[in-house]
Structure 1
Amino acid sequence: MSAMNRKLIQNLAETISKQVKRGNKTEAECLIRMFNRLLEEHIVPGRAVNGLDRGLFRYILHNTFGMTDDMMMDGVFRAFDKDNDGLITVKEWIEGLSIFLRGTLDEKIKYCFSVYDLNGDGYISREEMFHMLKKSLIRQPTEEDPDEGTKDLVELTLKKMDHDHDSRLSYADFEMAVKEENLLLEAFGHCLPDAKNILMFEQQAFQDPLQR
């Protein structure tokens, strides 16, 4: 890596670390280097790209953070891609990872809600709950209506979380329910890394002497 590249990375890390609540300049530098390396390894030579596309980002979620559900991975991509341009920029990468790795409960509630709000209308509807919860139940081949169990689960969830009784979850509903019972944070699917994957990622990103 040339001195100029190092200087550019240091300057970018300083700028981003001032804007992102969590982390520091050294960690931001490590994440920028990781971001650049991912682009170099997976982008077609000669093709100018300044961000991680959906396919590459899903590959990272699967291989680094152990995520397997397509719907959840698409939701995580939307949550990271703040400007909705179909690419995760280096700033969006660091901002998203700051919540993944060290987010407060409030930050994680906002993040999970944005993942579960599949159509981005500000609510988690019955239909959205049904689609997300459908995969969580093991179906029995003898069931006459295999969707009946999912429908029951949706109704139970609404009873537990729908505080204003309008048959859908607003952000206020979701926030109140999670603060009453933290286990409801990932009620509709696995969209945050577990402690083991966080530790492995941090060891890879922040403790690799080749990146310092």
Structure 2
Amino acid sequence: MKINFIFKNKSKKNKMNNLDGTLDGIQNTRFLNIYHGLIKQMLKQTQFSEMELNCILMIYHKFVLLNGPRAKAMTKKQFFHLFEVLFKVFDLQIIERIMILIAKESKNHIPPIAWVKLFSVFMSDSLDEKMKFVFSIYNLHETNFLNREILTKFVDKFFTGEDEDEVVELTADMVDLLFKKFDLDRDGLISYDDYSTVVRKTPMLLEFLGPCLPSRDGLTVTAYCSNILSKMGDMGLNQDDVK
């Protein structure tokens, strides 16, 4: 998939009409016709500029085009592959949970609005927004707390070995340790309030049951490839290099 955004020496109008140099004029116009309404909607709901939304959705559109002329959405397979290759999130259960959260009733494809919302969380500077997102991923039972069964399912992936008894013991010890850290009211459950209180004091514990968000390097590549100019300064990128 090749994307060549056109920015240099162009007016704003021409930038919008000729966003991708790999598509001809008719295809660029078709893109704008498809996503114009969503872009206007997302301008009010996300931190992105109009140009950034155009670029984010152009990447989505190029994935859709790979699925054939009649395709209208990114497939589940493409979504999983993107997480594993670009975002470096490898836990299939976590990727599945992310898809459920953002795509809602869409079980086999990712709607464009879900794609934009995903980028909005990834690029957010709000710890509260990221905590709510990550906790929702871990919250397998769709309640407002994590119990010992849930923690065991995630922690069990941390340990491998031929000695099954040892793995079980290590898992149980880790679960006990996490409950001591996060179960502040000692009720045998980790509520969102417990979790958020701990993470605000120690932000490194945000993803304590496994990575759910791209690393800083992954975000840098994502911002560069998506032309999210508002994030490039924070990541040490030069906006003049984006063409």
TM-score band, normalised by the shorter chain? 0.7 to 0.9
Could you say which residue in structure 1 is the equivalent of 2:98?
76
1:11 CA drift (Å)? 4.4
- The within-5 A match list for 1:166-185 is 166-185=187-206
Opposite residue 85 of structure 2, the aligned amino acid is N
Pairs aligned (count) = 205
CA 1:57–1:15 in structure 2 vs 1: closer, same or farther (change >3 Å)? Answer: same
Kept in 1, the 8 Å contact 2:124–2:130? The answer is no
Could you say which residue in structure 1 is the equivalent of 2:128?
106
Kept in 2, the 8 Å contact 1:161–1:177? The answer is yes
Q: Is residue 123 from structure 1 mapped to residue 145 from structure 2 by the alignment? A: yes
1:35 CA drift (Å)? 0.6
**Structure 2 portions without partners, runs of 5+:** 1-24, 229-238
- Give 1:18's match in structure 2, choosing from 44, 62, 65: 44
Could you say which residue in structure 2 is the equivalent of 1:34?
59
Could you say which residue in structure 2 is the equivalent of 1:161?
182
TM-score if structure 2 supplies the norm length?
0.76
1:84 CA drift (Å)? 3.0
1:190 CA drift (Å)? 0.7
- Identity among equivalent pairs (%): 23
Kept in 2, the 8 Å contact 1:178–1:184? The answer is yes
Kept in 2, the 8 Å contact 1:65–1:197? The answer is yes
1:88 CA drift (Å)? 2.1
Runs of 4+ aligned structure 1 residues displaced above 4 Å come to none
Deviations 1:84-119, CA, capped at 9 Å, x for gaps: 322321111111111112241000000000111123
Kept in 1, the 8 Å contact 2:147–2:189? The answer is yes
CA 1:47–1:119 in structure 2 vs 1: closer, same or farther (change >3 Å)? Answer: farther
Distance in 2, Cα, partners of 1:6 & 1:69: 33
- Give 1:5's match in structure 2, choosing from 30, 37, 40: 30
TM-score if structure 1 supplies the norm length?
0.86
- The within-5 A match list for 1:182-201 is 182-201=203-222
Deviations 1:39-63, CA, capped at 9 Å, x for gaps: 111x2x3654x33333221111111
Kept in 2, the 8 Å contact 1:13–1:26? The answer is no
Distance in 2, Cα, partners of 1:84 & 1:6: 25
**Structure 1 portions without partners, runs of 5+:** none
1:146 CA drift (Å)? 2.1
Which structure is richer in relative contact order (CA contacts within 8 A, separation 6 or more)? 1
CA 1:124–1:47 in structure 2 vs 1: closer, same or farther (change >3 Å)? Answer: farther
CA-based RMSD: 2.4
